[in-house]
Amino acid sequence: MADYTQIDRSPLLNFLFYPRPHATPCPQGAFDLEVPVAPRVSIFCRFYGGVEKGRWILYFHGNGEVVSDYDEIAPFYHAKQLNLVVADYRGYGKSTGSPNFTHLLADAHLILKAVGEEMARRGGSPDLWVMGRSMGSLAAVELGCHHPDAIRGLVIESGFASVTRLIRHLRLPAQGIDLEPIETERLAVLQKISIPVLIIHGEWDQLVPLQEAQDLYAHLGSLDKELLIVPEADHNNVMFVDLDLYLSAIQKFIQRTLSPPENPQGAKRSSD
């Protein structure tokens, strides 16, 4: 893993993380899990199991969001026979500690392990997909590279190859910080990914420009990859500009990865 020490100890964190303590009562049909990641630090996860025998997605949300925001979003996934496990970051929702990039990536491995163990304990399917939205794409890519045997496929929504891209695009103060080693390592991680990947991105995303999705697609090592560009969507409404397009793409991707083609070819696609 790249060394994020310079970023983690700099004022950049104040521009890149927006932790928000917030919690709601666990909805009917869901259950909560706290994952210990360090002494006196745990990450809060919520399992939205609304569909019996539905496929499970481990979901890493965007910056500024928290797990409980998905109380109202999970039912849309249930309508497509999909269940969600949504994970917070340190300092977000009911999770303790303080967020930084070293923790975000390291904690993702522990969360994946804990989620898999909890599903096995409850007699659930071993099949698991990982999805990352925006900042969560960093965690999803990390897991896709290092745990191909534990993950059926990746979904990356409004994501980017490296936080260095976001720092440069937003023109954040990074004087004195060497960003190149981080970007080089992240691109190498993308090239090592071999499992199927679906990338979804808004055509008009100004926070994370469409070029980032195109770069992700280009650098992925997987032969089974797809880019879906949602017309007229921006960073925060890409799901709801065309809800059926968005969720149907995820549902079809998951169904397809259950029986992958013998000779998969990359497919770049945008909706009309």
Domain boundaries, the chain: 5-18+33-270
Q: Which two tokens stand for residue 191?
A: 């090239």
Task: Give tens-digit pLDDT for 108-134.
Answer: 999 999 999 999 999 888 899 999 999
Q: In the predicted model, what is the mean pLDDT of residues 173-188?
A: 93
Position 126 scores a pLDDT of: 84
Under CATH, which number does the domain 5-18+33-270 receive? 3.40.50.1820
DSSP state of 71: G
Tens-digit pLDDT profile for residues 57-107: 999 999 989 999 999 999 999 999 999 999 999 999 999 999 999 999 999
H or E element that contains 156:
strand 154-157
CA 164 vs CA 112, 138, 181, 185: distances in Å: 25, 11, 10, 11
Q: Which residues of 80-89 are buried (b: 16+ CB within 10 A; e: fewer)?
A: bebbbbbbbb
Closest CA to 99 of 1, 10, 13: 13
Interstrand relation of 82-87 and 41-48 (parallel, antiparallel or unpaired): antiparallel
The stretch 223-227 carries a mean pLDDT of 97
Chain segment 23-51, per-residue pLDDT in tens: 999 999 999 999 999 999 999 999 999 89
Tokens at residue 176, please? 């004195």
Q: Report how far residue 237's alpha carbon sits from residue 19's, in angstroms, rounded to the nearest whole number.
A: 21
- Rounded-to-5 percentages of helix, strand, coil across the chain: 35, 20, 45
Helical spans, DSSP H, in the chain: 5-8, 13-16, 74-78, 101-121, 136-146, 163-169, 180-192, 210-219, 238-241, 243-258
